[in-house]
Amino acid sequence: MVKLTIDGMEVEVPKDTTILEAARTIGKHIPTLCHLKGVNNSGSCRVCVVESGPKLVASCSIVAENGMNIKTNTAKVREARKTVVKLILSDHKRECTTCIRGDNCELQSLSNELNIREVEYDGERLQLGTDDLSPSVSRDPEKCILCGRCINTCAKVQQVNAIGFIERGFDTTVAPPYGKSLDDVFCTNCGQCITACPVGALYEKENIKDVWKAINNPETYVVVQTAPAIRAALGEEFGMPVGTSVTGKMVAALRRLGFDKVFDTDFSADLTIMEEGTELINRLTSGENLPLMTSCCPGWIKYIEHFYPDMLDNLSTCKSPHEMEGALVKSYFAEKMDIKPEKIVTVSIMPCTAKKYEGNREELSNNGLQDIDYVLTTRELAGMIKEAGLDFKNLQDEEFDNPFGESTGAAVIFGVTGGVAEAALRTVFEILSGKELDNVDYTVVRGLEGIKEAAIELPNGITINSIIVHGLGNAKKAMELIKSGEKEYHFIEVMACPGGCVTGGGQPIVSSDYIMGNDIRLQRATAIYSEDEAKLLRKSHKNPYITKIYEEFLEQPNSEISHKYLHTHYIKRHKFWK
């Protein structure tokens, strides 16, 4: 422990605690901008400066020492912070009223907090233009403040390194290698750079106008589906606490927006377990293409296509759940409703920006029609709800439409790391053993450790060695263990985003200040597990509508018709380029 004084108060904190963290222990707020807990503490922006003796030091990167006398609110400190922020604003495209981050911009909040009312520095500004070629992530370098949070997220957390600082001095900017578009390089479209960005320099490629146009077109039948993680985060956009489950209100809002059918991606998550679980059993029996790797996450799929193309045969051939549902809406459902498939517009509400890229993949289509026409993020859905003037918090709960509205608890946990593995194990155990599980909660695969291992012993003597990974940086570690032969597994679950889909690149953006004292991964995951526990059915193979669709259309898991609509293939990509 070390002892220091902060604004006249004696403080005792563990060794290696930063001044910023020490101040938080006594409720003292020091503003930050480039700091992002666990990702970036370079102190480069100098917004968090404090006085330590005669010096101004960056509190986010300087470790507290015995005897320090820290002052956080002197005239010298306040003036330094204001000067720094004004200099940032002098080279910033200040279009706050129309900016996508206008209502939750950390730079704007900081300007208000520091009582900045004018910027007296008037000089040359960079004129760089917008990069909007990627189907997932757009960049506006003129709003970039060079904080480095996106760079370190991509480099340290995801270990993809798709963006970095280029040029020098005044011309320094953040961009992909050689200043290329994100669409031309090895970006996985995960969108974690967006959630790290404190301003509007990075944002999702919006499809709101396209969806409104489809809804307002009397010639189209618009079907929407929502991913499991949406219900655990959407409420945050309307002032509700992080981790509030809003399933019923979400369904009600979607109906009022004008969608013709409101389906649940959870239904096709149950379907995925039937297909992927059968695929796992077949591979365990044959011993071929093990380990089986999950294929639900498009960021992970693009990552392995770029960096481990020699292991594509290990991926499950299953489409992701929302793509399965889109394919069935334009085939099974269209036939049931006597609607021409080309008249149906499928919209997916996803926590993920990589799903936008996925929706455009040629491999995910049938009969010349894409399975999914448009993907909206959680943030985009919130924007539509606000635009429509709906009082979201006071909407009465409503239920999803069937046949694709019924789901089990196994499906909803797809939204959190370990969820796919747990859902699969619930079904695979009962199919292989012929016995009912006494306890369906496989807690061994839960938790927020980056890499979790679990050996699941089945009554018939088979042991399934599993590894559960979240965050692409951890995926890289796991892949290297497998390639080196150091570890052998039967089943691997990978989610590109830390914590899983609950913290996907399309989820509500939470300020770095809130993240300092809270784990949003855990808060949102808690909502997911609570919904699982509340379900009457908690195993995918017990969903009556899943049984029905096999009887009426798909015949059986992994059948020829299942492969036509529910399975796909992958592409070997260049390590560095598109």
Q: Which residues are catalytic?
A: 276, 279, 296, 316, 355, 358, 363, 501
Q: Could you tell me if 385 and 508 are in contact, meaning their C-beta atoms sit under 8 angstroms apart?
A: no
Cis preceding linkage at 403, omega within 30: yes
460: amino acid identity, one letter: N
Query: E-assigned strands of 147-273?
Result: 164-166, 173-175, 202-204, 221-226, 261-264
- For residue 380, what are the CA distances in angstroms to 287, 501, 516? 44, 16, 26
Tokens 């146009």 locate to: 213
> What is the distance of C-alpha 498 from the center of its chain?
8
* 42-74 burial: b if 16+ Cβ within 10 Å, else e: ebbbbbbbbbbeeebbbbbbbebeeebebebee
CA distances from 560 to 155, 219, 275 (A): 42, 33, 12
Q: Which two tokens stand for residue 114?
A: 């520091």
Q: Using alpha carbons, select from 505, 542, 521, 558 the residue that is nearest to residue 419.
A: 521
Which region holds residue 399: left if phi is over 0, alpha if psi is between -120 and 50, else beta? Answer: beta
Longest dimension (CA), the chain: 78
Are 417 and 445 in contact by the 8 Å Cβ rule? The answer is no
